[in-house]
Amino acid sequence: MTDIKRRQMLQMLGAVPAVAAFTWTREEAVAAAEQAGEARRQAAASNQPYTPRFFTAHEMATITALADLILPKDDRSVSASETGTTEFIDYLISEQTDRQTAIRGGLAWLDAECLGRFNKAFVDCSDAERRAVADDIAWPKRARPEMSQGVRFFNTMRDLVATGFWSSREGVADLGYMGNRMTVWNGAPENVLQKLGVSYD
Amino acid sequence: MQIIRSPKVYDVCIVGSGAGGGTVAKVLTEAGADVVMVESGPMWNEATDSAMLEWNYESPTRGWSSEKPFGAFDGCIGGWDIGGEPYTVGTGAWRWFRARMLGGRTHHWGRISLRFGPDDFRRKSIDGLGEDWPITYDDIRPYYDKVDQFVGVFGTNHASETGLHNEPDGIFLPPPKPRAHELLIKKACDGLHIPVVPSRLSILTRPLNGRAACHYCGQCGRGCATHSNFSSVSVMLPPALASGKLTIIPNAMAREVTTGADGLATGVSYVNKADRTEHQVRARIVVLAASCCESARLLLNSKSTRFPDGLANSSGVVGHYLTDSTGLSVSGIIPALMETPRYNADGVGGMHLYVPWWGDNKALGFPRGYHIELGGGFGMPGYGFGGGIQNYPYSRGGGYGADLKAEYRRYYGASVSFSGRGEQVAREDCYCEIDPNVVDEWGIPVLRFHHTWSDHERLQAKHMQETFRSIIDAMGGTPTSTMPGPEADYGLAAGGVIIHEAGAVRMGSDPKTSVLNAHSQAHDVKNVFVADGGPFASQADKNITWTIMALAWRASEYMTDERRKGNL
Ligand SMILES: Cc1cc2nc3c(=O)[nH]c(=O)nc-3n(C[C@H](O)[C@H](O)[C@H](O)COP(=O)(O)OP(=O)(O)OC[C@H]3O[C@@H](n4cnc5c(N)ncnc54)[C@H](O)[C@@H]3O)c2cc1C
């Protein structure tokens, strides 16, 4: 697109419709939206490394280790910490002040449990040691009663990591979400209808 | 400090720019009236201010927001709690959702655009409860037609086929084809004799009146940058502004309606929120469209020696008969939907199919009904994705690692949801009044709410629960929750939560039991009108906004006639 055309598009996208009489072609609308999105992304892009807002460096490392235990790399996608999950959790909890104590305390509970069992913090544990603790708190129905606080904390972390990973660019691609774009709707494709045993007639 | 009075006397002053205020502004300015609009929020336009097509990963909280109840990208300024603008609750419970922006709640609303049916205007005649409207469906039908044609709504005329005579035909754009999971729901409902028909949403499936057709990104609630769905700002205000007859005063919080020695309204006083200065704008007619409860508040706060109980309140009815829709939701996991091949299921920003009320109250233990809103599909992953997976039916019960990762994939798109939205029977003892002890930061006395449910609504909620669970069962799935019992009102949401407040300034033929006449005009003060949910004599098993707009249009034509005749 030429620069003039591009500027026109951006202007159109920002146009106050003083009269509801301007008409877009689909191509113009799509192009304008893409341009605006790109401009937004460029404005937002920053090369600065993330500075934690709430958690300490040790807590950040613990969250990272937990994130990758919960959603590791597999043959379809990268691990959770590679998708900004740790940073997301820090940012979120810096805003959700009513959850700060529970999560900071949960991280401390985890370290205390590891210290008691292995005489080291969670991040310093081997993979097998981390799993040994996780196995005791990751299965609410099976967990021993004295593990209840750990179970609660792990449920929280599982949910936070799930948001962090699946809502990331990589998570979205892994799930196969195909929307958030301007398109034409002609109904669900035939293979989907067949799988569900439904049809349009 | 002094009150700044506008020198000009406008023909009409409208308070509020949402569904009701926008409609009045369009109709009156096009009829030549000089209109001033007092709006408590800032200017907002979806073309420049919408977050359309942003990804959740572009937000550091992945779409969560401490300020916006429906997420960081929602096209809303306001919410359940507004800093500096409290309200209080006396008896029962009430939640009050307020928008503070040009266009009100019409940017982020669900756009379910249902006409009330013939029965809905005469419920008392049918079951003896509540009150009939002073108008019939035939009185309002031409205005529904105008709203359909000007705003645009898709749907189908199905009454002759389904036999649902209380679901009136409209002037519809073609509906979008159903999504795959919606067809699956329909299949199950067919077997249960529950009708599933194309939904009726004010989203353009064809270009209309210069606005582009929908591009199916499914994000109507963020505000549509191409104006392809309804909002007051996209649809109603452009022609009003183009007429050159509309002046908008943003960030202007109306305090009260001012009156003269003759007992008529002279205008509106307001606070400029930017600098806290006090103003008065003068007009020959005042139209309150600040949303149902806020319009009641304005009337109650407009006290004078002549009107000691508030303006237009000789009946004492202002604030009373406040209703909301009944509402609750049930979700289920459907194994048949697991591992469905992916496709772009965004569609329009809302359901493509829904269930209108089909029940026969004579055979049921409760009056009135509800419709069902359907959910499901492959939504954009965002904040809260897969939350509580350890409790999902068919899950392994928690865990971690590669197996868990695979499990999330399996559940993606495998859940469906059913939300009931039904009719509360209006009662005098559900009401709002002025709290004698509390003011907001502008010094305006605030509302105190009293709202409870009766068995009419509780039994309706029980029916919703049983119905939704039977549909999930028929689909071969399992609900994600157990059914709440009578001690929890069967899961009925608190009043206000469904955000369909109506009735607090009701219309009627008897000035002793109603505030407004059949033209939404105050019985007591002929140059005061109300054009939001306030005038509703009853709710329906349908969302209220299409009726707010049709009533507002009708009241505006009446005002135009009366002005022409010299009566106003
Ligand atoms: C999330 C959500 C989904 C919804 N979905 C649907 C749906 O699918 N179908 C449906 O029919 N309805 C739906 N609704 C309800 C719908 O939004 C309202 O019924 C409709 O917007 C009401 O129109 P209104 O003009 O009465 O009020 P609003 O649209 O709320 O506008 C009122 C305006 O008045 C202004 N105002 C308030 N007080 C003052 C004051 N003192 N001084 C000056 N200005 C003031 C406000 O700033 C606001 O702009 C939904 C609402 C929400 C929040």
Task: Give the 3-state secondary structure of B409-445.
Answer: HHHCCCEEEEEEEECCCCCCCCEEEEEEEEECCCCCE
Let me know whether B234 and B356 are in one domain: no
In this predicted structure, the answer to whether residue A6 has a pLDDT above a threshold of 70 is: no
**Confidence (pLDDT) at A11:** 53
Confidence of residue A3 (pLDDT cuts 50, 70, 90): very low
ipTM above 0.85, yes or no: yes
pLDDT digits (tens, 9 = 90+) for A57-77: 999 999 999 999 999 999 999
Average pLDDT, chain B: 97
Contacts of B176 in chain A (CB under 8 A): 185
pLDDT digits (tens, 9 = 90+) for B15-67: 999 999 999 999 999 999 999 999 999 999 998 899 999 999 999 999 999 99
A183/B176 Cβ within 8 A: no
Query: Is B58 within a domain?
Result: no
Let me know whether B332 and B315 are in one domain: no
Which domain covers residue B331, as residue numbers?
160-224+326-422+454-491
Of chain B, the end-to-end C-alpha distance in Å amounts to 34
Let me know whether B366 and B234 are in one domain: no
Tracing tokens 């039977």 back to the chain, one arrives at: B470
Query: Is B34 within a domain?
Result: yes
**Confidence (pLDDT) at A1:** 40
Let me know whether B439 and B417 are in one domain: no
**Confidence (pLDDT) at B444:** 98
**Confidence (pLDDT) at B286:** 98
**Confidence (pLDDT) at A111:** 98
Query: Is B468 within a domain?
Result: yes
Return the number of CB contacts < 8 Å for A and B. 236
pTM score: 0.96
Ligand 1 pocket, CB under 6 A: B 15-21, 38-41, 70, 97, 99-101, 104-106, 108-112, 252-254, 289-291, 294, 499-500, 532-533, 543-545, 548
Beta pairing, strands B252-259 & B265-272: antiparallel
Query: Is B122 within a domain?
Result: yes
Q: Which of B211, B344, B390 sits opposite A140 (nearest CB)?
A: B390
Q: Is B341 helix (H, G, I), strand (E, B) or coil?
A: coil
CA dist., res. A32 & res. B243, Å (int): 28
Let me know whether B1 and B28 are in one domain: yes
Confidence of residue A201 (pLDDT cuts 50, 70, 90): confident
**Confidence (pLDDT) at A4:** 45
Let me know whether B134 and B28 are in one domain: yes
Contacts of B376 in chain A (CB under 8 A): none
User: Of A13-27, B41-55, B323-337, B370-384, which range is least confident?
Assistant: A13-27
Interface test with A, best of B64, B344, B348, B396 (most A CBs within 10 A): B344
Smallest CA–CA distance, residue A116 to chain B, in Å, is 22
CATH number of the domain encompassing residue B179: 3.30.410
Give the mean pLDDT of A88-117: 98
Query: Per the structure, how many domains does chain B have?
Result: 2
CB B118 within 8 A of CB B165: yes
What's the CA-to-centroid distance between A88 and ligand 1, angstroms? 33
pLDDT digits (tens, 9 = 90+) for A8-65: 555 555 544 444 444 556 666 667 677 777 776 777 776 788 999 999 999 999 999 9
| Radius of gyration over every alpha carbon of chain A, rounded to an integer in angstroms | 24
**Confidence (pLDDT) at A8:** 53
Give the mean pLDDT of B398-422: 98
Question: How far apart, in Å, are the Cα atoms of B90 and each of B81, B320, B438, B496?
Answer: 17, 14, 13, 14
Of all residues in chain B, what percent carry a pLDDT higher than 90?
Answer: 99
* Phi then psi dihedrals of residue B89, to 5 deg: -125, 130
Let me know whether B442 and B418 are in one domain: no
CA dist., res. B263 & res. B333, Å (int): 61
User: Of A1-5, B424-428, B504-508, which range is least confident?
Assistant: A1-5
Q: Does A3 touch chain B (CB under 8 A)?
A: no
Contacts of A176 in chain B (CB under 8 A): 342, 378, 412
Smallest CA–CA distance, residue B476 to chain A, in Å, is 12
CATH number of the domain encompassing residue B443: 3.50.50.60
